[in-house]
Amino acid sequence: MKDGYFIELTYLLASVLFVFGLKGLSNPKTARRGMNLAAAGMLAAIVGTLLHHEILSYELIIIGMIIGSLIGAAMSIWMPMTAMPQRTALSHAFGALAASLVGISEYYRHAVDLGETLPAYKMTALGFEVLFGSLTVTGSLIAFAKLQEMMRGTPFTYKGQNIINISLFALAAGIFIYLIFVPTASSLFYVMVGLSFLFGVLLVMPIGSADMPVVMSLMNSYAGLASAATGFAIGNNVLIIAGTLDGFSGFILSILMCRAMNRSITNVLFGAFGAPATDTGALIEGVMREVAPDDVAVQLAYARQVVFVPGYGMATAQAQHAVRELADVLEHRGVIVKYAIHPVAGRMPGHMNVLLAEANVPYSSLYEMEQINPEMNATDVAVVIGANDVVNPDARDNPKSPIAGMPIIEVDRAQSVVVLKRGKGKGFSGLENPLFYKTNTGMLYGDAKSSLTRLAQAVQQT
């Protein structure tokens, strides 16, 4: 009995630490402390679990802990910050896989091995756990493959895909409901597992890499909800609390990401977004005006205020340190430097913040879209680093555009705009960007890291 009280006490402590950890992550100044609190909470949860009287083999648990610790250490130490989206996708896959395996083993132990008739509430928890856990595993792995460029990042689409996806999910959900009333139908249970794995693949395949911020937060939500269901299935309070926190915070973040991209949450849930866009904008007149690094350096050196707008191109070029180097040179000359952060710039929520933090960019220099847009008219030079859709004025000016209504960083209102791009491509969305043809815009082609380094050197010599 005393052991039971101690276990529940450790679970309560872990839950409190998870709550305060999540609260700490809401502010960059307290984020590190929040992470440490959450890690301490996980340690408390593990200690409580290891004291549970139902544990059959400590040897296997220790082996699992060693393997998991080695994998986690390798991912945290050697995986570069630019690969953080891929690491996050893998973490979602691992967490969801753990929940799914627990659900499958619990079902097998009770319904198959012992031949018990599972109560409706437990079968509901197990079914929900396995259904959402399984689709999260394969969905997260597909997201990882796209982000790692192991497969093409553009959407895989085919005729009738939405009907097939919805029908597949409806079939899996139908089996789930049937199992609640007939839990002994073990063959249908495994069919549901297989359908869930398949649905996870088909859910993410038609989504392009440019839409990964929503996918990442959505997979985070699914993994959390699966973990909460695991807690109900095995009677573990800390799993219920932690999974609910993770699930609903991820779901709220998904909604915020959808708003930032002007997308419907319904489209996200059914995988009906990310299809190749058709550019319905008016014919753009003019040409892209290429500029030389020396000319840009002069503009930057004598500017009063410069705003950097990072995008996924900065991540792929690993140019965050070069951005900071150029900013330091400009600030030494008395130039005001700010960074404009769009909520869906990159491939996961907060992607740009993470990369700039790695380069020791002060958080006070980072400005959200609502903060920086009013200052654009007073900005001398806006430097766009590998961003496309988040600065596309068609979202504001062209109601027929596929991204119409999407909030953007209004760099076109600056006195001068410099766009760093590898080439003349249209980006992941496939949409033409009128910004690139405006008279106050100059295109600086080449690798972003090399271009920024040359600009820093040229500014010093100006």
d(CA 209, CA 190): 31
Q: In the chain, helix, strand, coil percent, each to 5? A: 65, 5, 30
Partnered with residue 29 across adjacent β-strands are: none
d(CA 398, CA 147): 30
96, 226 Cβ separation under 8 angstroms: yes
User: What does the buried/exposed string (b/e) look like for 218-254 if buried means 16 or more CB atoms within 10 Å of the residue's CB?
Assistant: bbbbbbbbbbbbbbbbbebbbbbbbbbbbbebbbebb
Sort 81 into a burial class: Cβ within 10 Å, 0-12 / 13-18 / 19+. middle
Q: Supply the angle between the helices 320-332 and 448-461 in degrees, to the nearest 10.
A: 20
286, 365 Cβ separation under 8 angstroms: no
CA dihedral 164, 169, 170, 173 (to 10 degrees): 160
Question: Which of 211, 389, 394, 412 is an active site residue?
Answer: 389
d(CA 331, CA 326): 9
233, 189 Cβ separation under 8 angstroms: no
d(CA 274, CA 366): 29
Q: Does the annotation mark 380 as catalytic?
A: no
344, 260 Cβ separation under 8 angstroms: yes
Q: Which positions are catalytic?
A: 389
